[in-house]
Amino acid sequence: MNKLFKNRRFLWIAMLLMVALVAAACSSDDNADGDDGVEEDAAETGGSPETATEGGISGDLEIQYFVGGYGDSWWKEVIADFKEAYPDVNVIEHAGPNINDEMRSRWISNDPPDVVYIDGAGSSETQMVEDGQLMNLTEWVEGIELEGGDKLVDSFIVQPGKFDGEIYSLPLVFDTWGTWYDRALFQEKGYEVPTDFESFMSSMEEIKEGEGIDPLVTSGQHPYYFLRGMLFPAFAAAGGEELLADLITGAEGAWTSDATLETMKKVERLQEEGMFDSGLGALNHTQSQMNFLLHDNAFIPVGFWLPNEMANDIPDGFDFGFIPSPMQDPGEPFAIVPDLRPLAIAENAENPDAAKAFVEFAFTREYAMAFSEHTGAIMNITEVDLTENENVPGYLTEANAMINDPEQVQIYEKPHPMSADLETPIGNALMSLMLGNMTAEEFVEEAEKAAADYRN
C-alpha cells in the first residue's frame, strides 16, 4: 500500500473549540473497577450479537477505550446517555490504562470489539489500517449531521486522515504536543520563556546553573514522546509539511536530507551540553512528568493531558505554562503539529449498526463542551465556544490565543500518524542519540535504513 496519504485539513485551528467524544454505554453489570477498566465476555451477558431489526438498534455492543491522561469521567457521562437513548443495546466496556495490550489477542484473532478509541501506548491507527482491521467510513461519514443540521465532515477542526484517499477513522480528540514549564518558578527566578531554539538553549543553560538540575526531561521508555513532541514540529519548521510527510511515510532520502540532519544536530547539541535528564533512559511517561512537577527538571514535551493526568500530584503553587516546542530557528514562528485521537469501527465488527449509532452519537457539540470540562483538553469539532466557561483551565485559553496568532505560530498537518513499524526503530535510534551513544550523522543513516525496511 502506498503510505503517503495527503489529508484535506483546515489550517485554521480554534483550540477552544472542542470535539465531542462519546463512549459506550455501560453493560448490564456496572463497572466497579473504575479506571482499571472492565472486560466482560459477551457470553457472560447471555446475549449474542445481533443487529437492528425494523430500524431498531439492539444487541451487544463492545467498545474499547484507553484510559490515560484524559481520565474516563467523560466516557462515563456519554455512556450513560447512550444507554438511555438506546435501551435495547447492551454495551460492554473494555477500558483501562493497559487495554491496548489486554485486547491485542482479540484483534489478532479477528474477534475485535465493535468500536475502538485509538489512543495510548500499544495503539497505532496507521498499523490498524495497514492490517485491514478498520472499517472504511468514507461514504458513511458523509451522511452524519450535527445537532444544528451541519455536516460532520464540514465541522472538524482538522479533517480525518486519509489512506489512499479513504477514511478509516474519525478524529475525536484534538491535541497538540508542546513544551511545558512552571510559570511560577520562571516568574520568581526571572528565567526566560523560550521563543526559538537559541533562546531555549540559553534558558536551559541559565536554569542548569541556577537550579543545579538537568533542564529537559522526557520518557526514555517511550521515545515517541520526544519524536512527536519535539521533532515533528522541528521537522515541519525546517522543511514544511512536505518534509514532515516524507519522514512519516518513510520516503526515500527523507531521513538523510540536509534539513533532517540539521534538526538532528540540534538534538546532538542538547545531549552534548547536558540538557537532557541524565536518567531519562529509565523513565516512563508518568515518572518523567512527576520529575517535572517536583522541579527535578524545568521543561517537558507532553500533550494537553498533562495537568489532568497528574492532577493528584501537582505541588502547591505550581502554575502550568505551555508553549509550542521551541525547536525553530530565531525569527521563525513556533511550529505546531496537531495530534489527533480517533474513533473507529472494526472491519469485523459483530454489530456494525450499533457501532455506527454510537460513533454518530459521540460527535455533538454538547459532548465537546463536556469534554473540555472533564479533561481540560480540546475535541475536534468547530463552533464550540468555551471562552465564557469558567471550568476551562487558563492554560488552555492562553494556548488558544497563541496558536490562533499566525505571527506566533504556524500550523502544520501530518498526513496520518507514523506506523509503529517505522516509529519503533526510529525511536530506538533516537534514544541512542539522546544518550550520547550515536552521532547525528549515524542517526540519520540508521533512520534511513529503517525507512527502507518499512517501504519493503
pLDDT at 147 (0 to 100): 85
pLDDT at 253 (0 to 100): 98
Q: CA-to-CA distance for 170 and 19, rounded, in angstroms? A: 11
The long-range contacts involving 431-438, CB below 8 angstroms and separated by at least 24 positions, are: 431/220, 431/223, 431/281, 433/264, 433/267, 433/268, 433/271, 434/220, 434/223, 434/226, 434/267, 434/270, 434/271, 434/276, 434/280, 435/220, 435/271, 435/280, 435/281, 436/271, 436/272
pLDDT at 42 (0 to 100): 35
pLDDT at 392 (0 to 100): 80
Instruction: List, for residues 103-147, the tens digit of each pLDDT value.
Output: 999 999 999 999 999 998 889 999 999 999 999 999 999 999 998
- Count of domains in the chain? 2
User: How large a percentage of the chain has pLDDT more than 70?
Assistant: 88
332 and 343 part of one domain: no
pLDDT at 55 (0 to 100): 52
Q: Could you tell me if residue 25 is inside a domain?
A: no
Q: Where is the domain boundary, 394, 410, 441?
A: 394
Instruction: List, for residues 189-200, the tens digit of each pLDDT value.
Output: 999 999 999 999
Q: Could you tell me if residue 400 is inside a domain?
A: no
Q: Could you tell me if residue 11 is inside a domain?
A: no
199 and 104 part of one domain: no
Cell numbers placing 123: 495503539
Q: CA-to-CA distance for 162 and 172, rounded, in angstroms? A: 15
Instruction: Report the mean per-residue pLDDT for the chain.
Output: 87
Q: Could you tell me if residue 231 is inside a domain?
A: yes
425 and 276 part of one domain: yes
330 and 448 part of one domain: yes
Q: Could you tell me if residue 13 is inside a domain?
A: no
pLDDT at 405 (0 to 100): 83
- Determine the average pLDDT of the residues in 225-254: 97
- Determine the average pLDDT of the residues in 262-286: 96
Q: Is 252 exposed, middle or buried (0-12, 13-18, 19+ CB in 10 A)?
A: exposed
pLDDT at 39 (0 to 100): 39
- For residue 213, pLDDT beyond 80: yes
CB atoms within 10 A of CB 135: 21
φ, ψ for residue 356, nearest 5 deg: -65, -40
- For residue 4, pLDDT beyond 60: no
Confidence bin at 22 (pLDDT 50/70/90) = very low
293 and 345 part of one domain: no
- For residue 376, pLDDT beyond 90: no
Cα of first residue to Cα of last residue in the chain, in angstroms, is 10
366 and 444 part of one domain: no
Q: Could you tell me if residue 302 is inside a domain?
A: yes
- Determine the average pLDDT of the residues in 411-429: 93
151 and 204 part of one domain: no
pLDDT at 399 (0 to 100): 79
Of 451 and 11, the structure prediction assigns the larger pLDDT to 451
pLDDT at 201 (0 to 100): 98
323 and 368 part of one domain: no
User: Could you tell me the pTM of the whole model?
Assistant: 0.74
252 and 117 part of one domain: no
The region of weakest confidence among 54-68, 121-135, 352-366 is 54-68
106 and 78 part of one domain: yes
The region of weakest confidence among 2-11, 48-57, 278-287, 386-395 is 2-11
The region of weakest confidence among 19-33, 179-193, 318-332, 386-400 is 19-33
Q: Could you tell me if residue 385 is inside a domain?
A: yes
Q: Could you tell me if residue 409 is inside a domain?
A: no
Cell numbers placing 94: 473494555
283 and 159 part of one domain: no
pLDDT at 417 (0 to 100): 86
Specify the CATH number for the domain of residue 106.
Answer: 3.40.190.10
Of 20 and 225, the structure prediction assigns the larger pLDDT to 225
φ, ψ for residue 399, nearest 5 deg: -65, -40
Confidence bin at 32 (pLDDT 50/70/90) = very low
- For residue 276, pLDDT beyond 90: yes
88 and 190 part of one domain: no
Domain that holds residue 280: 178-336+419-455
- Determine the average pLDDT of the residues in 288-303: 97
- Determine the average pLDDT of the residues in 157-179: 92
